[in-house]
A and B are shown apart, each in its own frame.
Chain A
Amino acid sequence: MKLVLHRRYRFSASHRLHQPGWPQEENVRVYGKCANEHGHGHNYVLDVAVTGPVDPATGMITNLADLDAYIERHVLAEFDHVYLNEQVPAFRSLVPTAENICRVLFDRLRAYPHARLASIGLEETGANSFEYAGDSRENA
């Protein structure tokens, strides 16, 4: 039986879509309002999906207490209520689009020790959502 467990988390953060190598007019042309030099924020909803065998002793793919603690420590503590461009080192040289946030989080959460990461979902607003399952077949 193929089972995938999804758990949703929330964080609120600001960002600015801006390529430092481009003049501001080019940034505004490409990123529109998102290039506003003072940044802006979103209430992000993160969907973490994990898969693997169900432990017969617990009936679980992973204990949610373990997953919650891991996400708190490795994502929320760093991503919630911050300015992503300035305060998350991964985005000092990477534009914090939702796509790039998904990739950064996927690469980071692959190290989760209690189950295999299947995919990362990110809702930036109720109208925009993104999903990333890695680039290789190992996570298909």
Chain B
Amino acid sequence: MIYLTRKVEFSASHLYHNPAFSPEENRRVFGKCNNPHGHGHNYVLEVTVAGEPDPGTGMVLDLKELKDILQREILDRMDHRFLNYEVPELAGKIPTTETIAMTIWQLLEPRINELGLPGHRGQGRLHRVRLYETPDLFVDCTGNGQ
């Protein structure tokens, strides 16, 4: 099995706020992240695909296709956006690193796994989504499979 990782970056703003909490409770639980104007990060996303190289091409998948999926599903949605208000998949959720990583997994898994279908060059399966909010904070999501 080969594990192939592609890295992309996006910049976005967010805030943490639970409408069920009082203003004091929101400030206590979320601290500076509760600022109603939001704040931003340079997120770094590493997407790892696992698979056996195709004997004809020597590749697990066509990196151009993976690049296009990341552009369409993640960067077009999240880059230079206010995550709470501009990304429908995060509407009403608290966009913590955990929540964003899970959302990215859900967006990517069907797109990457269908690369093995006829008409596509590849047979990899999404193995891990690693999302860095800062160099010192990141979350790994490995789906439901393991």
Contacts and interface: CB of A to CB of B under 8 A. Distances in A.
Interface of A: 1-9, 54, 57-61, 63-65
A54 B137 contact: no
Nearest to A61: B98
A9 B95 CA distance: 23
Contact of B137 (A1, A58, A63, A64): A64
A9 B135 CA distance: 11
A7 B140 CA distance: 11
5 contacts: A3-B101, A4-B139, A4-B142, A5-B98, A7-B136
B16 A59 contact: yes
Contacts of A5: 97-98, 137-139
A7 B29 contact: no
Given A4-B139, A5-B138, A58-B18, 5 more contacts: A1-B143, A2-B142, A3-B98, A9-B136, A57-B18
B136 A8 contact: yes
